[in-house]
Chains A and B, each alone.
Chain A
Amino acid sequence: MPDLIEKKKTEAVAVSAPEKPEKARSLGSDAWQELRRNPVFLLSAALILLLIVITIAPGLFTSVDPRAGDLRNHYLSKPSYGHLFQDDWFGYDGQGRSIYARVIYGARASIIVGTCVTAAVTVFGGLLGMLAGYFGGWVDTLLSRITDIFFGIPLLLGALVVLNAFTARTVWSVVFALVALGWTQMARVMRGSVITVKQADYVTAARALGAGTPRILFKHILPNAVAPVIVVATIALGGYIATEATLSFLGIGLQDPTISWGIDINSAQNVIRTAPHVLFFPAGMLSLTVLAFIMLGDAVRDALDPKLR
């Protein structure tokens, strides 16, 4: 047996040696070359960058306190629109608060929920999917059945039940609820991807060279199986932002001292007939954010899928 491994080792070296000088580009750098020329990617990346800046430093965009209400500014006594980038730009809401300031400060909750949920779901679901796909057998059966059980409960419904138990709901309770029920999709995608990758020759080669299981999993399988997960994660990020807004809209998401587009849309629903702009601006920003992430996901998928090239 040791002879055989030794032989394979020398063979592998012999095969790979002459190819060295060409230095082929990796799938990642290939995708990056493709992305740099894609206008959809550039547009969505610029939008997301802007949103991240708004999240980190909302003070750069407005100097008004988003929670300060002045009833003299009620939407019935002030015209709907005002001066560019001033606090009256988007008009005022039912409590005389600047809608522009609220839209700017509302980005934080959405971006934090979106990124944290996606990161946690990708790590947790990805890990379970990888274990199920790599080990197969009873590990796969057990993990897949658990995934099926969680998959049977719709995300919105389950999140409502979990969140209803919290009396004081913060951004983190929303993140917890969405992660607890949202990881199944990533686990399924990762499992399928790992099952295809683990049959590849280079995995057999790595095992023949004596690589341990963790090394095979993280150095050989993970980099080659992660592309579909990245695509699904990018598109899902927009979905999580929309779900957070839906939960806040239903009244079981974030609560009032927190500023969120979903809460503002919820309080605007009753005045849509008299002051549609109170609904329009938070809803517009929410849609724009979701759109940016979906476009980014589309562009990344086109770049990572070699079949379309």
Chain B
Amino acid sequence: MGRYVLRRLLQMIPVFIGTTFLIFVMVHALGDPVNALFGDKAPDPAVAAQIRAQYNLNDPLWLQYVKYMGNLFRWDFGTTFSGQTVTSLLATAYPATLKLTAVAFTIEVVFGIGFGLISGLRRGGVADNSVLILTLVVISIPTFVTGYVLQYLIGVKWGIVPATAGDPLTLQSLLLPGIVLASVSLAYVARLTRTTVAENSKADYVRTATAKGLPRRRVVINHLLRNSLIPVVTFLGTDLGALMGGALVTERIFNIHGVGFYLYQGIVRQNSNTVVGFVTILVIVFLAANLLVDLLYAVLDPRIRYA
């Protein structure tokens, strides 16, 4: 087990370096950050030279990357062009996004698996068909449309929950953004759970469990659901990264100053330190989630053992 985790962690290093370098190249190679800073006006040559020297912009790209990574290990993410340290931005942004993601993830897991289970157990029934149609509709409507419509109806017109989530973030104000962020993934989870539950409900071990007289509740939860969860957990693991990326849209609609908000600002202003810093943390979260998923397999299915 320990050796397996160690091996996986070592395998992550090249992917981590590759992904951060890729985003570094994309931000730098595709446009001059100093020009972007000055917008349509031509920058004063002396000021431009000063900025270039201060942010190592005269070095070749690989050297900039090496310097950046070296600083990163001392927990120095650099500063933005306006002088704030990126670590201070990270410290304000990540708690907000983590709260939002936690709310969305809980909604996704509870309702996604719940609906999928109900639908998969009664395949072809009224509940099944309505879940199928509803999830199809939810998947088809882009998140930003769902966001605006729900914000207008529930937040503004009926006033059930706050329409925007300001500061401080309360659970109540995060409910609506959480639902919007979770909606598409929730639909996928429900469909995935439905398929695997329906497939496994005809399995021999389910018939055995029923035949030996176990109550239906126990058959469904301990035998059927546990065995059906592996593909769902796989999806949830990769989706955690997608949720934090999807916050780009949701946070904009609901005015939450989280990762999506600062990333968008960073991209528009070509502020490489902000973009690379935020993406670096995102990549770490993404890789860690994937490792966690692989370890969860062993919990769900005792036959899987990691030597």
Contact = CB atoms under 8 A, between A and B. Distances in A.
Interface of A: 145-146, 148-150, 152-154, 156-158, 160-162, 164-165, 238, 242, 245-246, 249-250, 252, 265, 269, 272-273, 276, 279, 283, 286-288, 290-291, 294-295, 298
B26 A152 contact: no
Contact of A157 (B142, B156, B263, B268): B263
Given A154-B246, A265-B145, A283-B149, 13 more contacts: A145-B15, A148-B15, A153-B279, A156-B249, A157-B279, A160-B248, A160-B264, A160-B267, A165-B31, A269-B148, A279-B145, A291-B140, A295-B136
B164 interface: no
A161 B268 CA distance: 8
7 contacts: A157-B248, A158-B26, A162-B30, A242-B142, A245-B142, A249-B249, A250-B252
A153 to B, nearest CB: 6
B270 interface: yes
A161 B144 contact: no
Contact-residue bracket for chain B? 35 or more
Contact of B22 (A149, A160, A242, A279): A149
A276 B145 CA distance: 12
Interface string B262-296: 01100110100001000100110011000000000
Contacts of A156: 245-246, 248-249
A6 B304 CA distance: 45
Contacts of B137: 287, 291
Contact of A272 (B26, B142, B152, B283): B152
Nearest to B156: A273
B31 A164 contact: yes
Nearest to A290: B140
B140 A287 contact: yes
A272 B253 CA distance: 13
Contacts of B275: 161
A100 B29 CA distance: 41
Given A250-B248, A273-B152, A145 B18 contact: yes
Contact of A252 (B141, B145, B148, B268): B268
Interface string B1-32: 00000000000001100110011001100110
Contact of A164 (B23, B245, B268): B268
Contact of B148 (A238, A242, A279): A279
A153 B30 CA distance: 16
A287 B145 contact: yes
B56 interface: no
A152 B240 CA distance: 12
B263 A286 contact: no
Interface in B121-152: 136-137, 139-145, 148-149, 152
Which 9 A-B residue pairs are closest in the complex by CB-CB distance? Answer: A165-B30, A154-B245, A149-B18, A291-B140, A152-B19, A165-B31, A283-B145, A290-B140, A287-B141
A139 to B, nearest CB: 16
Given A287-B142, A290-B140, A161 B267 contact: yes
A5 B97 CA distance: 63
Main secondary structure of the interface of A (DSSP, over half): helix
Nearest to B241: A154
Contacts of B299: none
B248 to A, nearest CB: 6
Contacts of A146: 18
A294 B136 contact: yes
B15 A149 contact: yes
A154 B275 CA distance: 13
Nearest to B16: A152
A267 to B, nearest CB: 13
A252 B267 contact: yes
A287 B138 CA distance: 9
Contacts of A295: 136
Contacts of A286: 142, 145
Interface in B15-54: 15, 18-19, 22-23, 26-27, 30-31
B98 interface: no
Given A152-B283, A153-B22, A246 B143 contact: yes
B242 interface: yes
Contacts of A161: 23, 26-27, 30, 267, 275
A162 B145 contact: no
A147 to B, nearest CB: 10
Contacts of A242: 142
B125 to A, nearest CB: 18
A280 to B, nearest CB: 9
